[in-house]
Amino acid sequence: MILKGLKDKFKYRSGQKYLQQELAQERETPSRKEGVSAIGVIVDLENFAEPEKFYELIDAYGLRPNAVKIIGYRKFYDKNSPYATPVFSDKDLGWNGAVENSYALEFLSRDYDLLINYYRESNLLLQLMSVKTNARIRVGFSEQDPAFNDLIFGSGVSDFESFKKELKKYLKVLNQIA
């Protein structure tokens, strides 16, 4: 039990070190054309229980049905319980910032035009997922370090309609949607 605690502590420290190294480097953006055709969403399910609302972006932006990919974070989850959204948790943290979860690895294997970091609290695993995701534009909230996001909103996580409206407005200004 003590050894497991020490192991987890060292994994956490190695993850923090990896995160700092990644933030210090210049981010590579995928060579995708302008416009939004693929959206990735990293959502904290502890603070926002309705991740299916992000599928409303398909109609709002005129995207194909499979254009939105969502992955959720929970502090603890039971692998035997069915979740509507693929989930990862703290126990999926590996050495040197690795994420050891098949759902997370599948999410990270894709390139996105827009990454929505839909969480407010600083959390190592959420930040690692954000840094490791290939996306042209990153959107998040003001409580996070500005290094994680290109576009930062001050609205609340619970006010999804306001977030959706503001996101659409700024994407139009950036000529990413019509």
What are the structural domains, with CATH classification, of the chain? 2-173 (3.40.50)
pLDDT of residue 109: 92
Give the integer Cα–Cα distance in Å for 116 and 54: 10
pLDDT of residue 178: 59
For the entire predicted model, the pTM comes to: 0.88
pLDDT of residue 16: 85
* DSSP-H helix ranges across 67-159: 102-108, 124-132
Buried b (16+ CB within 10 A) or exposed e, 31-54: eeeeebbbbbbbbbbeebeebebb
Q: What is the mean pLDDT of each run of 10 residues along the chain (178 residues)?
A: 77 85 75 80 90 89 89 81 79 87 91 91 89 91 83 84 89 80
Nearest Cα to Cα of residue 69 among 50, 54, 82: 54
